[in-house]
Chains A and B, each alone.
Chain A
Amino acid sequence: MAFKIASSPHVSRNLHTATVMQRVILCLLPGLVVQCVFFGWGTLIQVMLAIAVALGSEAAVMKLRRRNPAAALGDNSAMLTAVLLGVAIPPLAPWWLIVIGTVFAIVIVKQLYGGLGHNLFNPAMAAYVLLLISYPVQMTSWVAPSTVAQQAPDLLASLQAIFGSLASSELKLYSLGIDGVSMATPLDTLKTDLALGLTSSESLSKPIFDGSTGVGWFWVNLAYLAGGLVLLKLKAIRWQISTGILVALFVCASVGWMLGPDNHASPLLHLFSGATMLAAFFIATDPVTAATSNRGRFLFGALIGMLVYFIRTFGGYPDAFAFAVLLANLCAPFIDYYVRPRTYGHRAGS
């Protein structure tokens, strides 16, 4: 009787890539829901559109590479990229924006580098940066939060806005606040105000802020934080990168705020504005493009946190996670080379 030969171990944990990706997507849902609550159906439509485009382009590329498309689609990584890009771009951005971004993310950033596991840059963030640089107007036109907006877009209006059948004058309505002033994101508002010579407390008294953080954005970030904590609990991600980002951002923001509370944003505003929690738990933790050792990951996260603070405070862009993540991606191989754990039985440094 002949038996089967295989190398040990003969058991394996039943936790596969597809499951991990699926869990990450599920943990994104609370944040997505809160975003829809504050900014209308647009985000959901963008996410759906992105998923469709992502799966289509992934399958097409796999076909071209003569690989099995089902295997690639089955790992849920393309879907995760699509969801991340979908929640990152303005809810009422025209449809072609997300299409261009998603195709770029999947085809150029991911598949041309060799597919899953081989890409150097975070696909969603590389696509976001491409769109931000190429279409700055569309990429910075955020909808005013529904609680303080003059007019909130319903499902039909969102669809019309995205697919281009809405007059631009009507579209503009959705970005107006109660006071009829166009509403940028809280970080953008603060940056503009500080540049205009206002103090941060004066800026924070505007309707887009509720006194300390941005209206809506605080809850969005809180929802992503909750989702992230679930991910940590499930061990789909490890704590080092997220902690590194949040600690570095908090420390930098605290120092800046203590030195000049009038012309700096508070640590609270930094932590609960823009893409902070989304990036800290869902974007920067993409293992493919991050450092791999524990210490290396903490450094990787801390680098992102610092870069975010400096770009937000001194750079030309109100939010900075996409740039910071890409820059840290570049440093990941370097970090991995120099930051290695001490092997059992070896002295430090050997």
Chain B
Amino acid sequence: MLTLLDQLDQGTLWRSPGGIHPPQEKSLSNTTAIARLALAQQYLVPVPQVGESCTLSVKVGDRVLKGTPLTQGTSLQHLPVHAPTSGTVIAIEPRPSNHASALPVNTCVIAADGQDSWCPLQPSDPAELSQQQILDKVRSAGIAGLGGAAFPSHIKLNPVSEIELVIINGVECEPYITSDDRLMREHSDDILAGIAIIHKLVQPQRIVIAIEDNKPEAAEAMTQAIGRSQLPVGSTRVTVIPTKYPSGGEKQLIQIITGKEVPAGAIPAQLGVLVHNVGTAYAIQAAVLQGQPLVERVVTVTGQSIGRPGNYWVPIGTPVTHLLEASGSTAFAGQKIIVGGPMMGHALPQTQVPVLKGTNCILAPGAAELATEVEEKACIRCGECAQACPAQLLPQQLFWHAKAEEYDKAAGFNLKDCIECGCCSYVCPSDIPLVEYYRVAKSALRQAAEDKLQAERAKQRFEARLQRLEEEKLAREAKAKEAAERRKASMSPKDKDAVAAAMARIQAKKAATETAAVSPDAQATEAAGGNKSAAVAAAVARAKAKKAQQAQTDSPAAVRTEVQTEVQTEVQPAAADDKQAKIAAAVARAKAKKAQQAQADSPAAVQTEVQAEVQTRVQTEVQPAAADDKQAKIAAAVARAKAKKAQQAQADNPAAVQIEAPTEVQTRVQTEVQPAAADDKQARIAAAVARAKAKKAQQAQTDNPAAMRTEVQNEVQTEVQPAAADDKQARIAAAVAKAKAKKAASAAKQDKE
């Protein structure tokens, strides 16, 4: 069993799945040496180019030299940008960005003075520098990954875990780009010097320079340079890998060289692997050895629309327009100008945008050079996309779900592992822009995740606020209590009396006004001595109460009703020695019943319940006084029957409990009134009235689905009547009541039907 190091030394290659072989167009640009173009008049350096939170260190009108830092920042992510040439800062304002959207970003515009003079540089010998000093140099030189991703190099060069293997990526698998190829051919020794610095920093066991087999000259140059370098013998080798796109992708290259896969959501350092581009190695060397910040890079300018295709040293910030003009472009409006290669590059809507640190190629294809715009056709599920996918995804399934906007399902097919290499779109026989669908789906998923996060934060904020308010309230109350106690303690007994008297006065006043408002009926009942007048007064009172209740049914403030009934019931005990008083009580109860009915429709059923309880308590208090033994027994029997019925009803309909409670009370009122009043004519009349009202109530309730209650009520009524049966009139009354109950029942039936 060979160890990984043995296999690395033997140059063992592993298979990377998928991939494609697009036509190679490298010879268009790799035959000439890297050249320099004339200086542009203006350079556009976007300020927060890589990393965040930085401040400008220049202002409009400042004169800068080549290499003068334009920004400074303290965060770890921050990478300074430098003036690419000497000149004057003429504006710092939003300018179109080097992006498919061309969205404006803050840009430092430098007018070149044509002298291109460097700021003072500090060459150094890495052997004399500590690791931290080297890292600082790399950072202050603003070095970012030059392969395209432009990740700050000083972070990658300072890994937290041990690095076994450093891969120097010279694969350059995009079919048009040759900047790394030319750099390796012409500057192999400088790249090796950069690699030596990387070796010093991360101390890997092996360094593998990976180059595709379509660049034999570069591989040869690098192999020879290794022999000349100061790197430990046997630590570094060139491994030539077969040409296949996208072998230059970091994950794919690691798979080819080591056979390992970077776990999903992790970084290569977790495997003990670090990948750097050859261009980055070159830039590290320039920064450490010569003290040069990253102000220029090699850019491939190619395509059939370019008069002199080739590789050029291009200052960062050079407008693409200048690059095209200087290389003899014949690009026409409406064609594509691509930044990067044809597989992964983005098209520019306009060319007044700068070359960035990650810009390795400007491609201006001829009219018939690249794929023409074609209509998307139906997917025939041929699965060629899955064959080509280097991430082993099922692009076709992703496509179905992305197209149907079922983004969660697309995520279930590991959409986030898509590296957007474009192999699936390349092979698709139906010309479906698969990668575009995935980009849309990915951004939708990102957006959804962002929204979710924000909602979660808002919820936390809201809850925190509620808690804070609650705490503040409690604190306030405690403080008030404390203050009151302090005041009390400091008050003299006399003061206390005065306060108590004042409080009593206020309460009395309140009570008086309330009674005046609601109790005319009670007062009338009390005042009326004779039977007749009492009945009249009761009728008047009923009418008034009815009106008041009607008004109240509209208002949700059921509390007032409660007050009213309480007042009423309070009045009654006083009159309880009199028969009339009983009548009045019956009337009042009937009214209360009505009020309850009205309230039954309102959701505040709890209140109704409370009220009913109050009422019954009053009644039971009144009754014992009035009832002799027999009647009491009957009442008890009735009550039992009711309780039974109520239980039954409740068993069937647990939700009805609340509404039922008042009804029960109501029926009790009726039945109790009857025996008590049975010896008196008027009492009987009152009973009849009460029954009539009960009937009405039932009718009203028939609209209610809980018809069981009506039944209970009916039965109760009929049960009660025998008690009154010693009297003829009572029998008549009973018959009438029965007839009414019957009517009510039939009405209820009809309503139901």
Contact = CB atoms under 8 A, between A and B. Distances in A.
A118 interface: yes
A292 B377 contact: no
Most B C-beta atoms less than 10 A away, residue of A5, A8, A288, A294: A8
B435 interface: yes
Nearest 9 pairs of A and B residues by beta carbon: A9-B422, A117-B378, A7-B436, A345-B264, A287-B382, A344-B391, A12-B371, A343-B414, A10-B342
Interface string A70-110: 01000101000000000000000000000000000000000
B436 to A, nearest CB: 4
10 contacts: A3-B333, A6-B373, A7-B439, A8-B346, A10-B365, A20-B382, A287-B380, A294-B386, A341-B393, A343-B414
B259 to A, nearest CB: 13
Contact of B383 (A7, A19, A238): A238
B392 A343 contact: yes
B396 A292 contact: yes
B430 A17 contact: yes
Interface residues of B, number: 71
A13 B337 CA distance: 20
A115 B377 CA distance: 11
Interface in B332-358: 332-338, 340, 342-351
Nearest to A16: B429
Contact of B431 (A5, A16, A292, A343): A16
Contacts of B265: 345
B214 to A, nearest CB: 17
B370 interface: yes
A289 to B, nearest CB: 8
A3 B251 contact: no
Interface of B: 17, 20, 22-23, 100, 175, 251, 255, 261-266, 331-338, 340, 342-351, 363, 365, 370-371, 373, 375, 377-383, 386-387, 390-394, 396-397, 413-414, 417, 420, 422, 425-431, 433, 435-436, 439
Contacts of A292: 381, 383, 386, 394, 396-397
Interface of A: 1-13, 15-17, 19-20, 71, 75, 77, 115-118, 238, 287-288, 290, 292-294, 297, 336, 340-346
A297 B382 CA distance: 11
Nearest to B340: A8
Given A4-B336, A344-B391, A9 B261 contact: no
Contact of B429 (A3, A20, A297): A20
A17 B375 CA distance: 13
A288 B413 CA distance: 20
B417 A293 contact: no
Contacts of A343: 264, 391-393, 414, 417
B430 A11 contact: no
Contact of A288 (B17, B22, B345, B380): B380
B336 A9 contact: no
A342 B363 CA distance: 35
A7 B433 contact: yes
B435 A10 contact: no
B264 A9 contact: no
B429 A341 contact: no
B336 A116 contact: no
Contacts of B435: 7-9
Nearest to A21: B380
A13 B20 contact: yes
Contacts of B375: 71
B430 A16 contact: yes
A10 B266 contact: no
B333 A1 contact: yes
A117 B380 contact: yes
Contacts of B340: 8
Most interface-central of B348, B350, B386, B433 (chain A CB within 10 A)? B386
Contacts of A118: 378
A345 B378 contact: no
A161 B726 CA distance: 111
B390 A10 contact: no
**Which of A9, A10, A75, A340 has the most CB atoms of chain B within a 10 A radius of its CB?**
A9
